[in-house]
Amino acid sequence: MNAKTLRKIQEEVDAYIGQFREGYFSPLAMLARMAEEVGELAREVNHQYGEKPKKKDEPEGSIAEELGDIFFIVVCFANALGIDLEDAYTRVMEKFRTRDRDRWTPKEPQRGDDR
């Protein structure tokens, strides 16, 4: 399998959106769409892990598909605002490594674990 970098994913989404006159939605419209997609993810999680089973006539959904929809809109949002997601990811991971380094209990290394 040929892994894609975030940069390549952003380029692929930009090429896809670029073929349409409408282009990217406005930031407010994308935020609304993201909220809608998160709601669909919540519904699927609730059906699969919560107390709300699906109705018999409801189609099967997929948590993976809903996460994919959210990822797509995040990439669109970043592209529309000129945000490099690789840079944003690097900055947020550094923040977590420093600010939250003592927040969680580390796992004990297992025998033979080189980490």
Would residue 105 count as lying in a domain?
Answer: no
Number of domains in the chain: 1
Would residue 110 count as lying in a domain?
Answer: no
**Domain of residue 56, CATH code:** 1.10.287.1080
Would residue 115 count as lying in a domain?
Answer: no
Q: Tens digit of pLDDT per residue, the chain (115 long)? A: 679 999 999 999 999 999 999 999 999 999 999 999 999 999 999 988 988 777 777 777 789 999 999 999 999 999 999 999 999 999 999 998 998 888 888 888 887 766 5
What's the rounded Cα separation, in Å, for the pair 55 and 106? 41
What is the reported pTM?
0.83
What's the rounded Cα separation, in Å, for the pair 77 and 31? 8
Which residue range(s) make up the domain with 39?
6-99
